[in-house]
Amino acid sequence: VDKIGVVILAAGQGTRLKVEMAKPMVPLRGRRLVDYPLKAALDFLEATGPGRIGIVLGHKKEELRSYLDDNYAHVNLTFAIQAQQNGTADAIKAYLKDCSWAKDCEYTLVLCADTPLLTKDIFASLMSRMEGEKLQAIAASFETRKPTGYGRIVRGSPGFKIVEEKDATPQERNIQEVNSGLYLLKTEYLLSKIEGINSVNASGEFYLTDIFDEASRVEALCFDDELSFLGVNNLAQLATSGEVLNERKCLDLMLNGVFVTAPKQSYIEDDVKIGSGTIIAAGCSLSGKTTIAKNVVIENGAVIKDSEIDEGSQILAHSYLEQAKVGAMSSVGPFARLRPGTILHKKVKIGNFVETKKATLMDEAKVSHLSYVGDAEIGKRTNLGCGFITCNYDGANKHFTKIGDDCFVGSDSQIIAPVTIGDRSFIAAASTVTQSVQDESFVISRGKQTTKPGLAKKFLKLP
């Protein structure tokens, strides 16, 4: 028998969002809204469990179900279906019916899919209060200057009740302590009360909040941190919760030795790892499974997705990296674009307006200006001059270019792939290379210069 059954209510329609998708599926910092309460619940169970999680689905249930199946195959979620959205108590009935284990858990933790700022610490403080005071149930509450829309906490003795806004008297509406929608209940207590709840209220819905009353050993535990309970009902609240999560992430990085110089202007997703001594300038966007080592400099406006940057490297302003690896002590940008499959070994230099794709550059290779390197391997210490291009695509297929170690490739050269250039070769500027050459070759392929002294005035219209 599990100690804790967690139920996440996710059946509601979310009409106030004014978007097509199901509310739990709206994007938030590279994930979906539902991922956040779910992660908080998983963290809590890991610390305090054993326990299980049930999710109540209703509106757009197939979409949500397939997302959760794909992403949580490893955690054994149970799904309940609420056929009609008749209120939060009705959703709990669906949970108790469809999750065979639910009634056997000692405690039931109820949370909503649209509260992404909850943390395991909040659940833990509910639990310790519950056990310490031998309570039957706790609702997490908070005080707010804008109670509109929330259920009001009406305190009695020893318990309390919750009055929904629509049902509240004018005096009750003035109450600023409100229900957050997060509850911890003794399952026994929940079972003894749930069938007695009716729908005689302004909405005609079955309110879960009616399980609390003024005479029972139940408590509203008031938290100071109003923001952690923010519910996402519209896209402005979604943006606010994104900002709070970003602030938390940046704070955690700063407390671990990362120089986040302008945390409000840097977007850093939760899975991004950054080593100490690294500087993150304003306006960066670091997302996905990105790992940045120690003592790296990321200048303003860099966009880095699912990439790996090794120690001592610098990514200069406004560079764009996606699924790229940057080896130690390398320099990229400003204004460089590293596309998927780019692998830079150590001390590589990529300068401004350079694009790479499926390209491996060995130690100390340099591409300093205005070049395209795609489907290629560039050897150690090789220098590609300004305006170098791998012509890798013939309209149907992609072809590979290999340039050996210690080569010099003059500016404005093109390789019509497939071509292999041996080590220590020299390609003269403005060459179009169509054939492979062996080590230590000199290659020049350009039109011969013709000069006609004095003829320029025929073409120029000088003043």
Q: What is the dihedral of CA 318, 321, 325, 327, to 10 degrees?
A: -10
Segment 207 to 236, residues that bind ligand UD1, using CB under 6 A: 207-209, 231
Which of ligand UD1, Mg ion, none has residue 154 at its interface (CB below 5 to 8 Å by kind)? none
Q: Which residues contact 310 (CB under 8 A, 6 or more apart)?
A: 293, 296, 325, 326, 327, 328, 329, 330, 346
Nearest distance in Å: CB 164, Mg ion: 11
Report the residue from 37, 51, 54, 87 that binds ligand UD1 according to the rule CB under 6 A: 87
CB closer to Mg ion out of 15 and 449: 15
Give the shortest CB-228-to-ligand UD1 separation in angstroms: 12
Is the omega angle on the peptide bond into residue 158 within 30 degrees of 0, that is, cis? yes
Residues between 214 and 273 that touch Mg ion (CB under 5 A): 231
Which residue in 331, 274, 254, 336 sits closest to 303, CA to CA? Answer: 336
Residue 91 has φ and ψ, to the nearest 5°, of -65, -40
Please tell me whether residue 333 binds ligand UD1 under the rule CB under 6 A.
no
Question: Judged by CB, which is closer to Mg ion: 178, or 419?
Answer: 178
Instruction: Between 207 and 372, name the residue whose CB sits nearer to ligand UD1.
Output: 207
Number of neighbouring beta carbons within 10 Å of residue 195: 9
Contacting ligand UD1 within 11-30 (CB under 6 A): 11-12
Residue 95 interacts, among ligand UD1, Mg ion, none and using kind-specific CB cut-offs from 5 to 8 Å, with none
159-188 residues in contact with ligand UD1 (CB under 6 A) are 162, 164, 178-181
Q: How many residues belong to the site for Mg ion (CB under 5 A)?
A: 1
Which amino acid belongs to residue 96? Answer: L
Determine which residue in the list 6, 55, 105, 113 makes contact with ligand UD1, applying CB under 6 A: 113
Work out whether 140 is an interface residue with ligand UD1 (CB under 6 A).
Answer: no
- Structure letter (DSSP) for residue 239: H
Which partner in Mg ion, ligand UD1, none is near 208 (CB below 5 to 8 A by kind)?
ligand UD1
DSSP state of 363: T
Q: Which is nearer to Mg ion, 9 or 127 (CB)?
A: 9
Q: Look up residue 167 and give its two tokens.
A: 């049902």
Residue 399 annotated in active site:
no
Catalytic option among 59, 318, 369, 399? 369
CA distances from 440 to 264, 389, 401, 419, 423 (A): 54, 21, 17, 15, 6
Residue 86 contacts ligand UD1 per CB under 6 A: yes
Q: For residues 300-329, which are near ligand UD1 according to CB under 6 A?
A: none
Q: Which residues contact 50 (CB under 8 A, 6 or more apart)?
A: 2, 3, 4
- The size of the interface with ligand UD1 (CB under 6 A), counted in residues, is 28
CA–CA separation, 298 and 283 (whole Å): 10
Nearer to ligand UD1, 4 or 113 (CB): 113
> In terms of Cα–Cα distance, which of 299, 343, 309, 352 is closest to 329?
309
For residue 207, the partner it binds in Mg ion, ligand UD1, none, with Cβ less than 5 to 8 A by kind, is ligand UD1
Residue whose beta carbon is closest to Mg ion: 231
Is residue 9 near ligand UD1 by the rule CB under 6 A? yes
Q: Which is nearer to ligand UD1, 205 or 412 (CB)?
A: 205
Q: Which does 421 bind (CB under 5 to 8 A by kind): Mg ion, ligand UD1, none?
A: none
CB of 163 to ligand UD1, least distance (A): 8
Q: Could you give the C-alpha distances from 179 to 45, 126, 256, 277, 364, in angstroms and in order?
A: 23, 14, 35, 43, 61
Number of alpha carbons in the 13 Å side-chain half-sphere of residue 315 = 35
CA atoms of 27 and 232, how far apart (whole Å): 12
Nearer to ligand UD1 by Cβ, of 180 and 368: the residue is 180
β-bridge partners, 344: 326, 361
**Smallest distance, Å, CB 207 to ligand UD1?**
4
Q: Where are the beta strands (DSSP E) in 66-126?
A: 78-81, 107-112
Q: Which is nearer to Mg ion, 231 or 341 (CB)?
A: 231
56 binds ligand UD1 (CB under 6 A): yes
274, β-bridge pairs: 292
With tokens 């010099």, the residue in question is 408
90 contributes a contact to ligand UD1 by CB under 6 A = yes
Which H or E run contains 71? helix 61-71
Active-site amino acid positions: 369
Q: Where along the sequence are the contacts to ligand UD1 (CB under 6 A)? A: 9-12, 56, 58, 82, 85-88, 90-91, 112-114, 150-151, 162, 164, 178-181, 207-209, 231
Q: Where along the sequence are the contacts to Mg ion (CB under 5 A)? A: 231
